[in-house]
Amino acid sequence: MTKKSSGKSTGGSRGKHVRVKTARGRTTSQQRWLSRQLNDPFVRRAKEEGYRSRAAYKLLEINEKHPILMPGALVVDLGAAPGSWTQVAVQELKGRGRIIGLDFQEMEPVSGAELLLGDFEEEDVLRKLEAMLGGKKANLVMSDMAASATGHTQTDHIRIMRLCELALEFALQWLAPDGAFLAKVLQGGTEHAMLATMKQHFRTVKHIKPAASRVDSAEMYVLALGFKNPTP
């Protein structure tokens, strides 16, 4: 059971720095990643407050500043695993509304949400998701999808923007009037064509970097509000 939380502050869980012991077979990058995880205040908070990952605080902060998770809403969570955004959605909808989460990785059930296992890029999986919607339009389509990092900046940017484009295509078809779209991108902004499409179909489009998004990460989020051109 998660506790009501804000994503703005790291709270009082700073604690002492945890030193990671060297282990045979562990690379330097693995050592660095483990140290960062053990000393990340958002990771500690997630464990304390019952969220499955630190990503919960990104959505909590975005929703606090720009309320997009409203009771009664129909929410589609793309790239939902391990489920922290789905948990936040269930928490904010307060038992009123519907949340559908999709990911190709298996994830533990989230009470109050419906989950679909499959790759969003596959046509048959997309059809299953649309069948679950049953013709009803979503109030929010959110995507924290990210392809595995290659370490090559340009390649990683192209891959994550491709996922964002697919999520946007889905949103343009399945959002209700005044609906919202939230998706992960990499710093440097969205591609010009995609940004132009968003501005054409939404009243407001902005980039956000939540406090829980690491400073050294190129990760950002694009938020589009006020969907104005729903598909008949």
**71-75, 82-86, 213-217: which range is least confident on average?**
213-217
The whole-chain average pLDDT of the chain stands at 83
The hierarchical CATH code for the domain 56-227 is 3.40.50.150
Question: What's the whole-model pTM score?
Answer: 0.81
Contact 49, 5 (CB under 8 A): yes
Bridge pairing between strands 97-103 and 114-117: parallel
Query: What pLDDT, on a 0 to 100 scale, did the predictor assign at position 229?
Result: 72
User: In 3-state terms, what secondary structure has residue 231?
Assistant: coil
Distance in angstroms (rounded) separating the CA atoms of residues 105 and 80 = 9
Whether 198 shows a pLDDT value over 70: the answer reads yes
> Which pLDDT score, from 0 to 100, does residue 31 have?
44
> What are the residue numbers of the active site?
184
- What pLDDT score does 186 carry? 80
pLDDT tens-place string over residues 215-227: 777 788 999 999 9
Average pLDDT in the 96-116 region? 97
Least trusted range by pLDDT, from 3-7, 28-32, 96-100, 165-169:
28-32
Q: What percent of the chain has pLDDT over 90?
A: 61
Q: Please give the residue that has the higher pLDDT: either 14 or 231.
A: 231
The candidate with the shortest Cα–Cα distance to 226, out of 199, 191, 188, 190, is 199
Residue of higher predicted confidence among 41 and 56:
56
pLDDT band, very low/low/confident/very high, at 4 (cuts 50, 70, 90): low
- Encode pLDDT of 113-168 as tens digits: 999 999 988 999 999 999 999 999 999 999 998 766 666 667 677 788 889 999 99
High-pLDDT (> 70) share of the chain, %: 77
Residue 164 near residue 142, CB atoms below 8 Å: no
